[in-house]
A and B are shown apart, each in its own frame.
Chain A
Amino acid sequence: MRLESITLSDFRNYKRSDIRFSGGRNLLLGKNGAGKSNLLEAVYVLSTSKSFRQAKDSKLVRWDTDGFMVRGVFSSTRGKYTVEVACGREGKKLFVNGTPEERVSNVIGYVYCVIFYFDDILLVKGPPASKRSFLDLVLSTTDPLYFDNLRRYLSVVRHKAKYLKDSTTVDRNLLLSLNEQLVQFGGYLVDKRSELVLFINRYIQEAAKKVYPGGPFLELKYHTNIAGEGKIAGGASTVDLFVHALERCGRQEIITAQCIAGPHRDDISFMDENHDVRHFGSIGEARLAAILLKLGQASFYTNSRGVVPILLMDDIMLELDMRNTERVIRLVDPQSQTLITTTEKSKLPEIFQYDSVFTIIDGRVN
């Protein structure tokens, strides 16, 4: 899919800007603090209604104004359409082709983009919660059923934890009922997460073959405690494994008043020939792993939704040497539209051919 043009009004440090992009590679050039990341953030808001930087809506509003508006004109296999997110005193509103949508969350499914930015390092070196949020975001935006199961699963986890904490004697029937729900909703999460990780891992293996003759042997692994150590064993169904894990942890769950067994404790890790990149990787290696993960996300969107997502690359070459930057650029699907920021052209390798350059100064685009 392609972002043809975007209009920003009172968004971050942009007063009012209209920008037309080209379908291929767009280079956003500007000094620190010029507004490059802000522009990518605006595009991202059109795909999820939220900032990728976990910023509250109020932070997106230009200082001393009352609200922001971002409108994008997109084209994809479904034709040309506009998506607009407006945020004012009465909250946030979504318009698709000028018509108001009942809920802002309806934005999901119109615009697929993948953001590459500083915090991606957390997907390699960060806590399991960051990794789960990544899996949840990718799966929730491609599968409404996943989102529904996730919501319900987390709600049952909270109910169960509260119940274990509050009750002096445990009503076995009630615990069984809650566990049955955990298996029903959580089993779906485990299946989908393990499929996704498998898909991305396959992508990474293919990618490695393309640009690294002979290595590296980076492998993405999914860890869920319902399977004990390692991955979901062949043969046993997720439901059986989950039921078993709940039985196994039952006593400990009651003693500690915590939910132990289940995908709310899932984790993923990158293994570099039996070494966990989380502990042993250099920053450059971890950055590369994170970028491969994000490229895998893009490939997953193409595979599952039939759309080539827009790639938003925010200063990705900061920690990479020229060789690795080149590799990353060669891996980018040539069909995808890319918005890539940098402070100086010289930081990009020669092989990077761009279709348009935009110079950004103080929230104005040239």
Chain B
Amino acid sequence: MENRGTIQHLINELTKLPGIGRRTAERLAYFILKEDGGLGKSIADAILDVKRRVRFCEVCGNMTEKELCEICEDNRRDRGLVCVVEEPKDVWALERMGTYRGLYHVLMGAISPLDGIGPEDLRIRELLNRIEKERVKEVIVATDPNVEGDATALYISKLVKPLGVPVTRIASGLPVGGDLEYADSVTLSKALSGRRPL
């Protein structure tokens, strides 16, 4: 009975992860339990490591192990250009393409009233502060090409434009309803060069 409680605890915790339902959680939990090559420990260590060492860049919200991320620290990058994305993983997707030379701003999500996410839950205030303090010449909004990403882009443009900074939206040559993460580099570079004013 006590054993069941322990494994149940793991299953419950796993279901709290995005995209993991009850059945998947059970499968994962029993797999970890049966597996005897030390996988359980190495997963646990990796999780602890990430939580201990990785944090979010104080300026842009990207992942980093220091105060500032590599991109914000890199003096060769164009500091007048800020690309706004939803998640840190989107920074990686754009960086893989290797042609963008500006900075980023990670919102940590998109406006989605149905999920209870409003503008105040995102790093929009921080973006406006950055624009006022730093010499930002253009803001490129590269939120996902779905309705939530679009609404976020429109909202940002309404706040940024009065500050006298042009706002462009990444052109959506992206798969319909798709996430930025899944777009291949070719489509991404096309989209980035074909950005349009908001």
Contacts and interface: CB of A to CB of B under 8 A. Distances in A.
Partners in one complex: yes
Contacts of A181: 147, 150-151, 154
Interface string B109-139: 0011110101100000000000000000000
A159 B150 contact: no
A315 interface: no
Contacts of B22: none
Interface in B165-188: 176-177
Contacts, number: 46
Contacts of A159: 112-114, 147-148, 151
Interface residues of B, number: 18
A249 interface: no
Interface string B131-167: 0000000000000001110110011001100000000
Contacts of A167: 118
Tell me what chain B mostly uses at the interface: helix, strand, loop, or mixed: helix
Tell me what chain A mostly uses at the interface: helix, strand, loop, or mixed: helix
The 4 A-B pairs with the shortest beta carbon distances in the complex, nearest first, are: A177-B154, A163-B113, A162-B113, A173-B158
Interface of B: 111-114, 116, 118-119, 146-148, 150-151, 154-155, 158-159, 176-177
A160 interface: yes
A80 B151 CA distance: 45
B113 A176 contact: no
Interface string A166-190: 1100010110111011000000000
A156 B151 CA distance: 9
Given A159-B147, A176-B158, 19 more contacts: A155-B147, A156-B151, A158-B114, A160-B113, A162-B113, A162-B114, A166-B116, A167-B118, A171-B118, A171-B119, A173-B158, A174-B111, A174-B118, A174-B155, A176-B154, A178-B151, A180-B154, A181-B147, A181-B150
Nearest to A163: B113
Interface of A: 148, 151-152, 155-156, 158-160, 162-163, 166-167, 171, 173-174, 176-178, 180-181
27 contacts: A148-B177, A152-B147, A156-B151, A158-B114, A159-B112, A159-B113, A159-B114, A159-B147, A159-B148, A159-B151, A160-B113, A162-B114, A163-B118, A167-B118, A171-B118, A171-B119, A173-B159, A174-B111, A174-B119, A177-B151, A177-B154, A177-B155, A177-B158, A180-B154, A181-B147, A181-B150, A181-B154
